[in-house]
Amino acid sequence: MRGDGRFEYTEETERRAAPSRRTKRAAAEWPRSLLPCAAANFQPNNNFFNSWASKMGNLENRELKQVPSKQASIKQANIKQSSIKQAATGMAAGILGAVFLWAGSAGAEERFSDLRHAQWAADSIAYLADRGTVAGYGGGQFKPDGAVTRAQAVAFMARELYSDEVPEKDPAYADVPPTHPFYREIAVASAKGLAGGFPDGSFRPDAPVSRAETAAFLARAYALQPGEGTAEPSDTGSHWAAAPIRALSSNGLIGGYADGTYRPDRPVTRAEYAVFLTRVIRFEREAAIRAKDWDKLISYMTVREQAGQMLMPDIRMRNGQPTTTVHDGLKAIVREQSPGGFILFDKNIVNAEQVATFAHQLQAEAGDIPLFLGADQEGGVIKRIPGGTNLPGQMALGATGDAALAEAAGKLTGEELRALGLQLNFAPDLDVNRNPDNPIIGMRSFGSDPDLVARLGLASIKGLREAGVVAAVKHFPGHGDTAVDSHLSLPVLPYGRDRLEAVELKPFRAAIEGGVEMIMTAHIAFPAIDDERVVSAKDGTEVPVPATLSKKVLTGLLREELGFKGVVISDAFTMQGIAEHFGEANAVKRAVAAGVDIILMPQDPAAARQTLVDAVKDGSVPRKTIHAAVKRILALKDRYGLFERGGESLSAKLAAVRTVVGSAPHREAEREIAERAVTLLAGRDGKRPDAVRPGDRVLIAAADEELAGQLKRQLAAANPELSLRIETAVRGAGGAAGLRAAIDGADYVIAASYQFRNNASQFGWADYQALIDELNARGKRYALLSLGNPYELLHLKNVKSGLALYGKQEPNTAAGVKALLGLLEPAGTLPVAAT
């Protein structure tokens, strides 16, 4: 109990007053007579109102806020009434205490300096300020002990329930002229039946609102029904507001005083009103989540919240340092920007237990809507999790041709991600790698056969789904036949529709038919589908519109023609295929209008969110587009259990990490895939490469010391009884003479080739050809090991012995070493046209 007699809300009070499970809402609303001063002429506590009205000045109770263009909103609604036009003119003139039409347009970051004695309400006040429902008087003042006026109460509710609605008729209250700062809210509330006037034609906007009227107002506005709680204040049984007070108190939404009373006729303070309203909003949101009623939940989300759900920022760095813990800056991003999730990179990751802790703490900051946490864990060359299973990669799976192995790889990847607290994998890659000069896909693809890509892609999706992880397949409509990296520029795929149907679209069509739930777009232009050209922001030239920004591609083709019902996520907005030509604000609007649900890695997440808010406000992106996108996102989060955050402790999660990540069964699957993928590129007998013999002096020639050292360790460990003498040489170091001298002393030469992230035709093949020619001329035993994109035989002639391993990670090279020692037969099939 505070000294002034008001009940002080403490942590214990909040716990006792937690909402109980509500009963099913009845169809009937509260009787209109229970609404304060409703049209039924019910005037509760009117004398009390009148006694206070003279004490309340018009201006001192009006909240100072920044006003977005109400004039524009009214003009857009094409309202004809002259009083409304007067309101627009008055608002444009900059009235005192101006209110906003757009939920969230007031400073959500505004915090108040006068809450020292109202800490019990600070969380609720901050919550409503973040939502744009309440604001202060300027100078950091909220005045928590001040009374709430009728105008303010109506304004708060109208902002929550009808934030962007423009009144269609004049409320016709003598004391609410069109220039009144709360004119819109009062007009809307009157039209919606939330509030009415007095018989004398007045509204009495500056009269204070009682605690009883607050209960009636909230109960009617939210159609609240009694809950399971039995506690009831001792002084409300015969009060006119007994029913609404009971509805709120039985659901734990309002509290009383220490003596068991509610004191219904006492004026409600701004702090109390903030607590009551916040509890009701959170209660309604929780009820919507329990019911999986996403339309209802969205109705309680501000436009800024909805826009935030459509963003998945990159949080790799802060102030030049990697982000590996949930620091205050990251907490602020979660609280203030309401992001839909985050993508994690290797800079966010120290080890498996740190990732699990990081993910756990991020979710703890997320409020009632959980975060999607995702990563690019394709396997092979694209992986993020250290210490986890080191899968050989998609093209290695393509070389096995085994859908069961692809499913197993997807499942174990999903199990490890899920154990770490991640629910989203940006994989598998469904690009059909038809172009050897592709600088960015290559061995990330299953191969160049669309049927193979479709079959293994479906299996991988199934495995991830079985593990409880969303598969985000990429890059629609296809990135496999380009010679340009969309990270660096804007590629164009020039083929006609028949070719696209036969190759690029086939795996995506199969995935959609198989129920894939998320698809990532490509920053690539497809003129056969959309031939629009726009002026580049980079240099003023005309450029084609990439798939990410094309409504014809994402809505016309993907949704309407292919029937995709899931979530569409863009590729990264930091990539130059988008960034340099379109500018982020323009690209964000175009992408969402085209059909993108989630913008991945916006360069400026706060600005991107504001861009979407503004776009909805000005009509360039319809509200229904945002609503549909957010509904898909929420439903997918629910489908994968993100809302079920019941209480697994961090210690339990860490125990699971130690059991699952890099487990023995997973390592065995890793080994099997790598060994079954080993493919013979060339062999003198057509079956196997030249063999390493006991006592051989082996020279390993590689592009760098790390790779040469890795092969040396594995070769020495594979069969110590062979007594091999192993030397290494870095290709290019010491010049050709040095390499020739090393060859002179060698019985066997391993030439390691690694071509990736560049055009194969522009790779330094001349040095390799010279080495091959030298080895052939001297009659040396050797093996060319292809550790990257397996296109060596397109550029090298007369290779007598060689293997394709599809990656330079340790499982791949260990399998290759076994093949060189005759411990396994190369059984893989080259999954691309490369001879």
**SS3 readout for 88-151:** HHHHHCCCCCCCCCCCCCCCCCCCCCCCHHHHHHHHHHHHHHHHCCCCCCCCCCCCCCCECEHH
Nearest CA among 196, 229, 159 for reference residue 41:
196
Identity at 733, one-letter amino acid code: A
Amino acid residing at 523: H
Supply 271's token pair: 């702090």
User: What are the structure tokens assigned to 834, written together?
Assistant: 């490369």
Q: What are the DSSP E strand ranges found in 477-596?
A: 518-521, 533-535, 542-544, 567-569
> What angle is formed at CA 490 by the lines to CA 485 and CA 494, rounded to 5 degrees?
95
Helix axes 211-221, 242-249, angle to 10 degrees: 70
Closest CA to 310 of 558, 714, 597, 623: 597
Separation of alpha carbons 378 and 194, rounded Å = 54
Q: Of 117, 164, 265, 487, which residue is the catalytic one?
A: 487
Q: Which residues pair with 533 in a beta bridge?
A: 544
Q: Could you tell me the CA-to-CA distances from 658 to 354, 400, 438, 642 in Å, in that order?
A: 12, 30, 38, 22
The answer to whether the beta carbons of residues 510 and 461 sit under 8 Å apart is no
State both tokens at 576.
Answer: 């130059």
| Cis geometry, peptide bond prior to residue 581 (ω within 30 degrees of 0) | no
Task: With beta carbons less than 8 A apart as the criterion, state whether 23 and 243 touch.
Answer: no
C-alpha span between 462 and 294 (Å, rounded):
26
- CA separation, residue 364 to residues 72, 334, 616 (Å): 40, 10, 30
Between CA 591 and CA 596 the distance in angstroms is 5
* CA nearest to 248, candidates 272, 267, 225: 225
Annotated catalytic residue 239: no
Sole residue written with tokens 């007070």: 245
- DSSP 8-class letter at 204: -
- Report the Cα 284 to chain-centroid distance in Å: 24
Beta bridge partners of 600: 312
Strand 321-322 to 317-318 pairing: antiparallel
Q: Establish whether 523 is a catalytic residue.
A: no
Distance CA 505, CA 450 (A): 9
Cα atoms in the Cβ-side hemisphere of radius 13 Å centred on 594: 26
Cβ 44 vs Cβ 240: under 8 Å: yes
Contact 464, 391 (CB under 8 A): no
- With a CB cutoff of 8 Å and minimum separation 6, the contacts of 269 are 6, 144, 145, 146, 147, 148
Instruction: Supply φ then ψ for residue 534, to 5 degrees.
Output: -130, 165
CA dist 798 and 782 (Å) reads 12
Q: Which of 130, 170, 206, 571 is catalytic?
A: 571
CA distance 789 to 761: 12
Q: Phi first, then psi: what are they for 631, rounded to 5°?
A: -60, -40
CA distance 95 to 542: 46
Distance (Å, rounded) from C-alpha 759 to C-alpha 765?
11
User: 351 burial class (0-12, 13-18, 19+ CB within 10 angstroms)?
Assistant: middle
- Cβ count within 10 A of residue 24: 8
Please give the Cα distance from 24 to 30 (Å, whole number): 15
Catalytic positions = 487, 571
